[in-house]
Amino acid sequence: MRDLYGVIGDPIAHSLSPAMHNEAFRALGIDADYHAFHVTPENLEAAVNGMKAIGVAGFNVTIPHKQAIMPYLDEIDLLAETIGAVNTVVRTPHGWAGYNTDGPGFMQALKEESGRVISGEKVLVIGAGGAARAIYYTLCREGAVTVDLCNRTVKKAEEMRDESPFPCPSKVLTLKEAEEQLGEYTLIVQTTSIGMHPNTDAQPLSVRNLNPDAFVSDIIYNPFETKFLNEAKKRGARVQNGLGMFIYQGAIAFEKWTGVKPDTRKMKNVVESILGGNSC
Tell me the pLDDT tens digit for each residue of 210-265.
999 999 999 998 888 999 999 999 999 999 999 999 999 999 999 999 999 999 99
Same domain, 231 and 123: yes
| pLDDT of 200 | 94
Does residue 186 sit in helix, strand or coil? Answer: coil
Query: Which positions ≥6 away from 180 have C-beta within 8 Å?
Result: 209
Exposed e or buried b per residue across 61-78, where buried means at least 16 C-beta atoms within 10 angstroms of its C-beta:
bbbbbbeebbebbeebbe
Same domain, 131 and 225: yes
Same domain, 12 and 89: yes
Query: Could you tell me the CATH number of the domain that includes residue 156?
Result: 3.40.50.720
Same domain, 24 and 54: yes
Same domain, 231 and 112: yes
| Residue 189 in marked binding region | no
| pLDDT of 222 | 84
Cis peptide before 64 (omega within 30 of 0): yes
280 falls within a domain:
no
Query: Which among 66, 122, 233, 266 is annotated as catalytic?
Result: 66
204 falls within a domain:
yes
| pLDDT of 75 | 97
Same domain, 166 and 233: yes
pLDDT in tens, 144-188: 999 999 999 999 999 999 999 888 999 999 999 999 999 999 999
Same domain, 156 and 137: yes
Query: Could you tell me the CATH number of the domain that includes residue 69?
Result: 3.40.50.10860
pLDDT in tens, 90-109: 999 999 999 999 999 999 99
Same domain, 110 and 236: yes
Span 119-131, mean pLDDT?
A: 93
| Residue 155 in marked binding region | yes
Q: Are 241 and 224 in contact (CB under 8 A)?
A: yes
- Does the predicted TM-score (pTM) go above 0.75? yes
Same domain, 187 and 271: no
Which domain does 168 fall in, by range?
A: 103-240
| Residue 251 in marked binding region | no
- Percentage of the chain surpassing pLDDT 90? 87
Mean pLDDT of the chain: 94
Number of structural domains, the chain?
2
**Known catalytic residue at 227:** no
Same domain, 79 and 121: no
DSSP state letters, 201-224? T--SS--TT--TT-EEEE---SSS
